[in-house]
């Protein structure tokens, strides 16, 4: 017994001694953090991944700040910045996966794959003699094998419909452009339409290239579609807004605790100052989208149509580490010309509630009825020329509200999409019929006017859905589903035969926000005014139309 007591005391004393040797400095928060990291690394009972532990600590710190400050590993950072940089390095194909096989939708025009003879409909089955088809290889792993530094070569094994033996091509990787302008076409005579996916380093140049083509077609009105546009570079939005505004017009200003106020103003050299402009937004239009929308609204320069935008009024600065990882740290708020900060409310550290804002809006009727939207008087501002009432504190409220049609996209349709039945059936159809369709429809206009999706394609979707236990609840739901499913399938076929611009030329005719803008233009007297369509001055912006 005495030996046991003595042994226990010795262990306790040794522990105290060890603790004494590791009394850590708490003189500053940083010394305390470093001390904790050192103690865990050296004393924790199990082996720890020090790099992951530090990354988790960084994420933890940022999560307690605001919803948009974040940390990205080197791999995550590359994936995030590639779309905004406007290019990546690879073989240059648009593809999708069908039955565990990579199906080329179409090669990038003048890209490395097109140059060696790869065509739409080809199946890539091997990469450098390693099988990637039928082996359950993940999309990320396939992408890793196809992408690589400019100038490097990769050998691709191709299976082509109508050719008995595999074909082999050696592709020299190159820089592949990533376009942020998804569509640009004349939606009606004299009316140009552009759909912008994000505000990247190349967006302004892409936009102005489209404008040049529109001007050759006597454009007098421009629709800028920012639905679902999550934002991007602030400077890109500023440069685009500059094209519409007069000299010294304020576009946006930023200000933060350690960031002095900085104003961005128009230089007066814009070439679109006399073009009538409409901007289309919805609940997923954010950040740079709201900078452009807010500038044109506050300067009474354009008409905003759609639903209240996301509400991101925070500016992030990328802070890079030498291993390629980075922190995106919120350093300032941005303010529209009238002084509005349109950042929606958030609780620090409560990202879940912030991310559920869409469900909150839907539940409270805001997406279907503008009268469900309430702003405090303290958030009231005035536009700079016509002194219309606008509001801050939660996105850009449009001048013309377009309710979300919750009956259009049925429960059955959502389930078909969730199971990938629509996309997969379309891929199989286009794979089989691509050559015949290209022979029949040499011009897109002929396709748009004459083509109808064969009903056997729809029947295949419904049959496969039934096998998986998915059925419409009644004939009414089926008919409402088909009313939107058929044009959706036609748009997908157009995309696969041509490109995204042709996809939007089909699907936009069924987009409520786009069609509201078109009707407003068609109902006008045909003049080419430089001022926007403006609501009665006694009515707050967002209450003009329903």
Total residues found in the chain within this entry: 546
Catalytic choice (174, 197, 298, 431):
298
Assess whether 312 carries a catalytic annotation.
yes
Strand partners, 153: 172
Sequential DSSP letters for 7-69: HHHHHHHHHHHHHHHTPPP-SSHHHHHHHHHHHHHHH-SS---HHHHHHHHHHHHHHTS-TT-
In terms of Cα–Cα distance, which of 134, 139, 141 is closest to 157? Answer: 134
Sequential DSSP letters for 113-179: HHHHT--TT-EEEEETTEE-SSS---HHHHHHHH---TT-EEEEEEE-TT-SS-EEEEEE-EEEE--
In terms of Cα–Cα distance, which of 313, 311, 315 is closest to 331? Answer: 315
Our CA angle for 297, 298, 304, nearest 5°, is 10
- Between helices 455-467 and 411-418, what is the axis angle to 10°? 80
Supply 230's token pair. Answer: 């999550």
* Cβ-contact 173, 154 below 8 angstroms: yes
CA–chain centroid gap for 425, Å, is 25
Residue whose tokens read 């590639």: 82
Supply 246's token pair. Answer: 């007069």
Report the C-alpha gap between 489 and 114 in whole angstroms.
26
Strand partners, 170: 155
Catalytic choice (69, 72, 113, 287):
287
Q: How far is CA 262 from CA 251, 286, 339, in A?
A: 11, 21, 13
Residue whose tokens read 């470093």: 34
Supply 371's token pair. Answer: 């009268």
Which helix or strand (DSSP H or E) is residue 315 part of? strand 314-320
How buried is residue 510: exposed, middle or buried, by Cβ count under 10 Å (0-12/13-18/19+)? middle
Backbone angles phi, psi at 60, to 5 degrees: -60, -40
Assess whether 435 carries a catalytic annotation.
no
* Cβ-contact 95, 105 below 8 angstroms: yes
Catalytic choice (69, 180, 289, 312):
312
Assess whether 287 carries a catalytic annotation.
yes
Report the number of secondary-structure helices (H) and strands (E) in the chain: 18, 21
Strand partners, 71: 327
Report the C-alpha gap between 345 and 67 in whole angstroms.
10
Residue whose tokens read 């017009």: 249
In terms of Cα–Cα distance, which of 86, 91, 95 is closest to 181? Answer: 86
Report the C-alpha gap between 451 and 445 in whole angstroms.
10
Our CA angle for 119, 124, 128, nearest 5°, is 120
List active site positions. 287, 298, 312
């Amino acid at each position: 017994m005495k030996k046991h007591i003595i042994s226990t005391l010795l262990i306790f004393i040794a522990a105290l001694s060890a603790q004494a040797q590791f009394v850590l400095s708490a003189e500053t928060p940083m010394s305390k953090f470093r001390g904790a990291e050192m103690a865990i690394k050296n004393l924790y009972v199990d082996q720890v991944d020090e790099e992951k532990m530090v990354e988790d600590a960084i994420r933890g710190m940022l999560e307690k700040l605001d919803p948009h400050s974040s940390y990205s590993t080197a791999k995550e950072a590359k994936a995030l910045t590639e779309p905004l940089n406007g290019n990546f390095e690879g073989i240059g194909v648009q593809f999708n996966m069908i039955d565990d096989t990579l199906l080329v939708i179409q090669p990038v025009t003048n890209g490395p794959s097109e140059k060696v003879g790869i065509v739409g409909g080809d199946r890539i089955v091997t990469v450098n003699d390693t099988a990637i088809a039928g082996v359950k290889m993940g999309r990320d792993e396939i992408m890793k094998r196809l992408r690589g530094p400019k100038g490097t070569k990769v050998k691709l094994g191709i299976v082509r419909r109508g050719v008995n033996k595999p074909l082999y091509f050696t592709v020299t990787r190159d820089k592949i452009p990533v376009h942020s302008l998804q569509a640009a076409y004349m939606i009606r005579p004299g009316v140009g339409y552009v759909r912008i996916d994000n505000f990247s380093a190349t967006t302004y140049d892409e936009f102005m290239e489209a404008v040049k083509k529109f001007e050759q077609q006597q454009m007098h009105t421009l629709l800028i579609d920012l639905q679902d546009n999550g934002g991007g570079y602030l400077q890109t939005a500023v440069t685009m807004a500059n094209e519409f505004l007069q000299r010294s017009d304020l576009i946006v200003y930023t200000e933060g605790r350690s960031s002095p106020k900085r104003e961005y103003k128009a230089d007066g050299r814009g070439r679109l100052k006399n073009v009538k402009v409409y901007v289309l937004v919805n609940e997923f239009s954010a950040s740079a989208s709201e900078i452009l929308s807010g500038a044109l609204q506050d300067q009474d320069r354009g008409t905003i149509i759609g639903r209240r935008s996301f509400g991101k009024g925070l500016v992030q600065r990328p802070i890079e580490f030498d291993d390629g990882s980075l922190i995106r740290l919120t350093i300032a708020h941005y303010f529209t010309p009238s002084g509005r900060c349109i950042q929606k409310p958030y609780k620090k550290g409560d990202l879940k509630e912030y991310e559920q804002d869409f469900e909150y809006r839907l539940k409270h009727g805001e997406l279907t009825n503008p009268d469900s939207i309430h702003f405090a008087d303290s958030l009231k501002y005035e536009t700079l020329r016509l002194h219309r009432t606008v509001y801050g504190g939660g996105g850009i409220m449009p001048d013309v509200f377009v309710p979300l049609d919750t009956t259009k996209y049925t429960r059955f349709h959502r389930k078909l999409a969730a199971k990938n039945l629509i996309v997969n059936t379309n891929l199989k159809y286009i794979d089989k019929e691509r050559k015949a369709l290209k022979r029949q429809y040499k011009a897109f206009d002929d396709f748009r006017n004459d083509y109808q999706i064969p009903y056997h394609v729809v029947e295949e979707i419904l049959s496969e859905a039934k096998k998986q236990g998915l059925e419409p609840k009644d004939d009414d739901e089926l008919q409402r589903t088909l009313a939107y499913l058929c044009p959706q399938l036609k748009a997908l076929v157009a995309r696969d035969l041509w490109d995204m611009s042709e996809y939007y030329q089909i699907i936009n005719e069924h987009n409520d926000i786009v069609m509201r803008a078109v009707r407003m233009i068609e109902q006008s007297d045909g003049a080419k005014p430089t001022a926007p369509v403006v609501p009665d001055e006694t009515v707050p912006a967002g209450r003009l139309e329903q």
